[in-house]
Amino acid sequence: KQEVTQIPAALSVPEGENLVLNCSFTDSAIYNLQWFRQDPGKGLTSLLLIQSSQREQTSGRLNASLDKSSGRSTLYIAASQPGDSATYLCAVSPNTGGFKTIFGAGTRLFVKA
Amino acid sequence: DARVTQTPRHKVTEMGQEVTMRCQPILGHNTVFWYRQTMMQGLELLAYFRNRAPLDDSGMPKDRFSAEMPDATLATLKIQPSEPRDSAVYFCASGWTRDGSSGFQSGANVLTFGAGSRLTVL
């Protein structure tokens, strides 16, 4: 059974700092991994999707990496801003056996002005 | 801008009442997911459909929850009777998935979420 773990659970940083969020998964047979952002009281917005054959994806100040063999992904946020404050979730989709997309519990990020 | 539409956005009801939540997936998406989010459990997968067929509803309490997809533009999640422990935000998400040579595979499309239905059962 796939399990997704995110560390840390919460993070508070001063504005301008670079930071890394971690995601690990127990079953490396994944098809893709997605990083989402969720603002309080809102739905989830997809940030980056990495296919299992890829090592990383970049969008603006965000860079997500994937090491499938070790079951790890990181989300790197450069030059953090107060507007980046949100909960970040990673989710993995299986390679076989169905389409279950399983989520981690998320990392709650607060960027102080 | 294509989006997943969920109704109602908020629902307050009394224990024992029936609750129906609706979802309109993005046109062209063939896979629909229902998730429940609580502070304690995070995002839990309740059920999902592919090409309108239910594939897995093992995450749902079978005695009171039911999920259906009467047509490609509508997915429903029903709770009858509702209980206070059902209070949560229910999210619908849709995406496109394809069959792979080794069986079902997850598709390349990004999963798109609706804004959620916040349910409070008193």
Low-confidence ranges of chain A (pLDDT < 50): none
The HSE-up count of residue B122 (CA atoms within 13 Å, CB side) is 4
B54-97: per-residue pLDDT in tens?
888 888 888 999 999 999 999 999 999 999 999 999 999 998 87
Q: Does A91 touch chain B (CB under 8 A)?
A: yes
Q: How far apart are CA A31 and CA A52, in angstroms?
A: 5
Provide the shortest C-alpha distance from residue A113 to chain B (in Å): 27
Phi, psi angle pair for B72, to nearest 5°: -65, -15
Q: How far apart are CA B87 and CA B15, in angstroms?
A: 10
Tell me the residues of chain B between 10 and 69 that have a Cβ less than 8 Å away from chain A: 31, 33, 35, 42-43, 45, 48, 50, 55-56
Kind of pairing between the strands at A10-14 and A107-112:
parallel
Query: What is the reported pLDDT for B103?
Result: 46
State the average pLDDT for chain B: 89
Give chain A's largest Cα–Cα span.
Answer: 46
A13-35: per-residue pLDDT in tens?
999 999 999 999 999 988 889 99
